[in-house]
Structure 1
Amino acid sequence: MIKLVVTDLDGTFLNSQGSFDMQWFKEVHEEMKHKGVTFVACTGKQCERVEKLFGEHGEGVWILGDSAARIKKDGQVVREFSMERTLALQAIEKIRSFDPQMTIIVCASDAAYVHSSIPDEMYDVVKSSYEQVIKTDSFAGISTSFIKITVFDPQGRCTALRKHVEQTMEGQIYIVDSEPRWLDITALHTHKGETVKTLQKMLGVTPHETMSFGDGENDVELMGIARYSFAMSNACENTKRAAQFITKSNDENGVLVTIRAMMDLQD
């Protein structure tokens, strides 16, 4: 019996236009709630951005946002996994030593912060994933807790950047290049897999009662916390190898198709 469904958003639940079939989701989610199945959005996006994305259809949805460093439900923060401040600032300096023009997004407990010198086109990219964004002249001046550091590089050098940061910080932080243009840094052992395990304990749900969906490098751990793990047909090879099953692509509504089939089997 499936009790928990966990899905990544970009490239998985969301189509190539960054949206989803709201009416179909509403119907499927109502059926899930009726049968006692919990829906979880697990994503690099800011929790508040996810809340806006689901809008009126988000009631009862658990959000593991900011690369699973925050847990929210129905507008309330349930847990946060913050970074040690000195390590966060050290990581930022290491990124700048690779390329001082890198677009750095510092996710804090109150908002996402970008440097005030950010070009307009990069700011628009940030706003596509972060609802609350503040410009600052100094990341060191942020007074609230550091949750996550994200880098966007349109040149696609994030694998090289990861290796550069790991030269001095490996074993002190969790770092993943989810795709060539995006890199995420969180506290050590803070990633989608571990945060889902925390939620499973909170809800009293086992991996055998869990279904998960993903497509990117940062979804590999997500495949390990569910007996019924699905990689999208458009997923990267590492995620496909880690998954138990392959389902339709994000542009074919693979997540909703699979959930609906599962719900039919649980009648």
Structure 2
Amino acid sequence: MIKLVVTDLDGTFLNNRGLFDTKLFTDVHEQMQKKGIIFAACTGKQCERVEKLFGEHGKGIWILGDSAARIKKDGKVVKEFSIERDLALRALEEIQRFADNMTIIVCASDAAYVHSSIHEDMYEVVKGSYEQVIKIGSFSEIDSPLIKITVYDPKERSSALREYVELTLDGQIYIVDSEARWLDITALHTHKGETVKKLQEMLGVTAEETMSFGDGENDVELMAIAKYSFAVSNACENTKKAASFITKSNQENGVLLTIQKMMDLF
């Protein structure tokens, strides 16, 4: 019996244009609700950006956003997992020491922050994943709890940056380079797998009752928390190896069609 479906968004649930089949989702979600199955989006995107993305179709879904550092449902924040402030500021110093031409996004409880000197084209890239974005002269001026640090690097140095930050901060944070251009930093032990476990505990759902979908390096943990774990066919090799099954790509509605077929089996 499946009680919870958790899916990554970019490259998994969303197509290459960052969209999803709203009609198919509405049909599948209605079937899920009738069977008492919960739908959760687990993503690096800001929760508020996900709310806008789903719009009227998002009622009743759980959002594990900001790289699973925040949990929201129907517009209400359920849980947040912040980074200790001094540690976050030190991480920012190390990132800037590594290279001063990367785009840094600091996610706080109230908004995502970027430096006021950001180029307009990079600002538009940020807006693709964050709904509430504020330009600021210095990240030290942010008053709200710091939830996540994201780095976008068109030069694709995220792997080298991860190794550098891991060395200098000596295991005090969780850091993952989900793609060659993207790197995320959250509090230690705060990642998709752990946050889904917390959601499972809240809902009284086991891994045996969970289905998960993913494509990127930061989705490997999602494969471990569900008996029915699926990597889309366009997924990276590590996620495919960690998954129990391979399904159709994000361009072929792999997630929704798989949910639909799996529901017919139970």
After TM superposition, the score normalised by the length of structure 2 is 0.99
Secondary structure of residue in 1 paired with 2:212: strand
Q: Match for 1:24: what amino acid?
A: L
Corresponding residue for residue 41 of structure 2: 41
Identity %, equivalent residues: 75
Corresponding residue for residue 200 of structure 1: 200
| 1:211-222 aligned within 5 A | 211-222=211-222
- The number of residues matched between the two structures is 266
Could you give the per-residue CA deviations for residues 151-192 of structure 1, whole angstroms, max 9, x where no partner exists?
Answer: 000111100110111111131000000000000000000000
Q: Match for 2:65: what amino acid?
A: G
Partners of 1:168 and 1:99 in 2: how far apart? Answer: 14
Establish whether residue 30 from structure 1 lines up as the match of residue 30 from structure 2: yes
Partners of 1:180 and 1:192 in 2: how far apart? Answer: 19
Secondary structure of residue in 1 paired with 2:135: strand
Could you give the per-residue CA deviations for residues 206-247 of structure 1, whole angstroms, max 9, x where no partner exists?
Answer: 000000000000000010000000011000011011101100
Could you give the per-residue CA deviations for residues 59-83 of structure 1, whole angstroms, max 9, x where no partner exists?
Answer: 0000000000000000000000000
Partners of 2:171 and 2:150 in 1: how far apart? Answer: 18
Could you give the per-residue CA deviations for residues 35-93 of structure 1, whole angstroms, max 9, x where no partner exists?
Answer: 00000000000000000000000000000000000000000000000000011000101
Partners of 1:167 and 1:97 in 2: how far apart? Answer: 13
Establish whether residue 169 from structure 1 lines up as the match of residue 143 from structure 2: no
Secondary structure of residue in 1 paired with 2:82: coil
Corresponding residue for residue 5 of structure 1: 5
After TM superposition, the score normalised by the length of structure 1 is 0.99
| 1:57-206 aligned within 5 A | 57-206=57-206
Question: How many Å apart are 1:101 and its aligned residue?
Answer: 1.6
Corresponding residue for residue 265 of structure 1: 265
Could you give the per-residue CA deviations for residues 75-133 of structure 1, whole angstroms, max 9, x where no partner exists?
Answer: 00000000000110001010001111210000000000000000000000000000000
Q: Match for 2:222: what amino acid?
A: L
Secondary structure of residue in 1 paired with 2:20: coil
Q: Structure 1, unaligned stretches of length 5 or more?
A: none
Secondary structure of residue in 1 paired with 2:28: helix
Partners of 1:48 and 1:170 in 2: how far apart? Answer: 32
Partners of 2:171 and 2:228 in 1: how far apart? Answer: 30
Q: Structure 2, unaligned stretches of length 5 or more?
A: none
Q: Match for 1:58: what amino acid?
A: G
Q: Match for 1:153: what amino acid?
A: D
Partners of 1:33 and 1:93 in 2: how far apart? Answer: 46
Partners of 1:174 and 1:166 in 2: how far apart? Answer: 9
Partners of 1:33 and 1:81 in 2: how far apart? Answer: 28
Corresponding residue for residue 235 of structure 2: 235
Partners of 1:101 and 1:251 in 2: how far apart? Answer: 33
Q: Match for 2:184: what amino acid?
A: D
Corresponding residue for residue 225 of structure 1: 225
Secondary structure of residue in 2 paired with 1:106: strand
Q: Match for 1:252: what amino acid?
A: E
